[in-house]
């Protein structure tokens, strides 16, 4: 029997890779999208088939994590086997500017969705997009047993979501899991996250369109993996015999400075000629170092990442340079240039 999945955040980086993966596995995929005055579906346009077509397997529905009633009716009508809650205000720096909105979407939005599952009475498996930001000030290596110490409104909201997911598992015997994912990137990464900001700047500088890029803290260490590999881990968590929480990470950390050096070097540029400091990109409280220990996911789910931050820098620089050379819509170009995608 064909499985049915609902993805919130389907228009985001991870949502687009997960939709590809599930469609390739033969799922019927439903995605929650926000109504916007402009199109926000560029990352999934290549997957879209007119719903009147009998071959259509991807269906999009308007909705928002701030609208609980809508979530109940949607879940009851779709009746999915699996729900992936990827929607969030996901930018840490922005969460300091919009703490209340972040709490509402990234925190309360999760309990709205869990309640919608409970109230609609459906039997489904639930994935919560938890984050290595939960570890915050606790030094690496971090695994499932490491103490949480959130350092931003975003991380505090994700902490609530982590615990409410666990609570619904224990209180209502729901198959609900947390994927504690360390940073994962791709050519589809949002343009204001540090890796994509760097690789887009490298492409623009190489093309002579820009001279400088302004950055914040270059000393931060992150464990960067490849988003396309991480969505496979999400799926594996929901196929397990018992619900449990898992860290997904590469186990390798590098600084923002090293990511910059590799990215500029790969394009034949000297980063020190082009990178400038701007304090606006600092955070009131920083997370200094995140390096995950993915042993549990490897042993229990058989999940092993193959691409780390050093390789990613080169993949993303190549994609952004090619996208710029082909001009047009850089989003659509980078979606199609991504070697991992199905198209
Ligand atoms: P992303 O690219 O920022 O995508 C976020 C998605 O959430 C978008 O589809 C966005 O819709 C949607 N969204 C935002 N607010 C919403 C609301 N109120 N109602 C419904 N949808 C809403 O994030 P991502 O990198 O794919 O990450 C996916 C999830 O994993 C997020 O929850 C993120 O916090 C978490 N996470 C990410 C990482 C990482 O390194 N990427 C690591 C750990 C955890 P629009 O397209 O309309 O804006
Ligand atoms: O790319 P970032 O904005 O990602 P951050 O804060 O680590 O959060 C991302 O990963 C989390 C998982 O750990 C997710 F939960 C979250 O949703 C998001 O996807 O920043 C990475 C580092 C930070 O230390 C930041 O201070 O880069 C530093 N940085 C230095 N200059 C900068 C900049 N970050 C951004 N965005 N822009 C800069 O100019």
Interatomic CA distance for residues 135 and 145, integer angstroms = 10
Give the position, in ligand 1's atom list, of the atom nearest the Cα of 105.
Answer: 18
Interatomic CA distance for residues 33 and 191, integer angstroms = 20
> Which residue's CA is minimally distant from atom 8 of ligand 2?
92
Give the position, in ligand 2's atom list, of the atom nearest the Cα of 190.
Answer: 19
Active site residue 131: yes
> Which residue's CA is minimally distant from atom 39 of ligand 2?
215
Please, what sign has the CA dihedral across residues 29, 35, 39, 40? negative
Q: Do domains 4-185+225-248 and 194-221+253-288+308-336 have the same CATH topology?
A: no
Instruction: List the domain boundaries for the chain.
Output: 4-185+225-248, 194-221+253-288+308-336
pLDDT tens digits for range 140-184: 999 999 999 999 999 999 999 999 999 999 999 999 999 999 999
SS3 166: helix
Ligand 1 centroid to 268 CA: how many Å?
Answer: 33
Assess whether the C-beta atom of 285 lies below 6 angstroms from ligand 2: no
Which CATH architecture is the domain 194-221+253-288+308-336 placed in?
Answer: Alpha-Beta Complex (3.90)
Residue 256: band (very low, low, confident or very high) from pLDDT cuts 50, 70, 90: very high
pLDDT tops 70 at residue 335: no
Global pTM value? 0.97
Active site residue 295: no
pLDDT tops 60 at residue 244: yes
Which ligand is closest in space to the CA of residue 152? 2
> Which residue's CA is minimally distant from atom 37 of ligand 2?
194
Residue 147, burial from CB neighbour count under 10 angstroms (0-12, 13-18, 19+): exposed
Q: For residue 174, how many other CB atoms are within 10 A of its CB?
A: 19
Give me the phi and psi of 33, to 5 degrees please. -125, 150
Asked if the 4-185+225-248 domain carries CATH number 3.40.50.720, the reply is yes
Which ligand is closest in space to the CA of residue 194? 2
Assess whether the C-beta atom of 265 lies below 6 angstroms from ligand 2: no
Q: What is the 3-state secondary structure (H, E, C) of 286-298?
A: CCCECCECCHHHH
Ligand 2 centroid to 251 CA: how many Å?
Answer: 18
Residue 302, burial from CB neighbour count under 10 angstroms (0-12, 13-18, 19+): exposed
pLDDT tops 60 at residue 343: no
> Which residue's CA is minimally distant from atom 7 of ligand 2?
183
Give the position, in ligand 2's atom list, of the atom nearest the Cα of 287.
Answer: 24
pLDDT tens digits for range 70-111: 999 999 999 999 999 999 999 999 999 999 999 999 999 999
Q: What does the mean pLDDT of the chain come to?
A: 95
> Which residue's CA is minimally distant from atom 28 of ligand 2?
217
Active site residue 339: no
Ligand 1 centroid to 270 CA: how many Å?
Answer: 33
Ligand 2 centroid to 204 CA: how many Å?
Answer: 21
Give the position, in ligand 1's atom list, of the atom nearest the Cα of 65.
Answer: 19
* Closest-CA residue to 315 (of 341, 282, 283): 341
Ligand 1 centroid to 90 CA: how many Å?
Answer: 5
Ligand 2 centroid to 74 CA: how many Å?
Answer: 33
pLDDT tens digits for range 42-76: 999 999 999 999 999 999 999 999 999 999 999 99
Which ligand is closest in space to the CA of residue 234? 1
Residue 1 has a pLDDT of: 80
Give the position, in ligand 2's atom list, of the atom nearest the Cα of 131.
Answer: 15
């Amino acid at each position: 029997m064909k499985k049915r999945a609902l993805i919130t955040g389907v228009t985001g980086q991870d949502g687009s890779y997960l939709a590809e993966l599930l469609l390739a596995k033969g799922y019927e995929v439903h995605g929650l999208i926000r109504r916007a005055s402009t199109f926000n579906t560029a990352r999934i346009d290549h997957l879209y088939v007119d719903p009147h077509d009998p071959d259509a397997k991807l269906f999009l529905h308007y909705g928002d994590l701030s609208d609980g009633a809508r979530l109940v009716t949607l879940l009851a009508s779709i009746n999915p086997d699996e729900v992936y809650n990827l929607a969030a205000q996901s930018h840490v720096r922005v969460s300091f500017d919009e703490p209340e909105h972040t709490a509402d979407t990234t925190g309360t939005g999760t309990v709205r969705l869990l309640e919608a599952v409970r109230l609609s009475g459906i039997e489904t498996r639930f994935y919560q997009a938890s984050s290595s930001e939960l570890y915050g000030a606790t030094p690496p290596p971090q695994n499932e047993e490491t103490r949480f110490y959130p350092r931003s409104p975003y991380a505090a909201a994700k902490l609530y979501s982590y615990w409410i997911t666990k609570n619904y598992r224990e209180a209502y015997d729901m198959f609900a899991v947390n994927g504690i994912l360390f940073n994962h990137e791709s050519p589809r990464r949002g343009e204001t996250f540090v890796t994509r900001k760097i690789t887009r700047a490298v492409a623009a500088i190489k093309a002579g369109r820009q001279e400088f890029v302004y950055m914040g803290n270059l000393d931060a260490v992150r464990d960067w993996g490849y988003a396309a590999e991480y969505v496979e881990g999400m799926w594996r968590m929901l196929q397990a015999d018992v619900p449990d929480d898992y860290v997904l990470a590469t186990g390798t950390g590098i600084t923002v400075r090293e990511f910059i050096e590799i990215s500029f070097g790969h394009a034949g540029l000297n980063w020190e000629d082009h990178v400038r400091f701007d304090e606006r990109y600092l955070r009131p409280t920083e997370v200094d170092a995140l390096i995950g220990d993915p042993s549990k996911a490897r042993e229990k789910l058989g999940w092993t990442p193959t691409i780390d931050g050093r390789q990613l820098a080169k993949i993303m620089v190549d994609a952004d340079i090619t996208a710029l050379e082909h001009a047009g819509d850089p989003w659509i170009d980078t979606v199609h240039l991504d070697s991992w995608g199905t198209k």
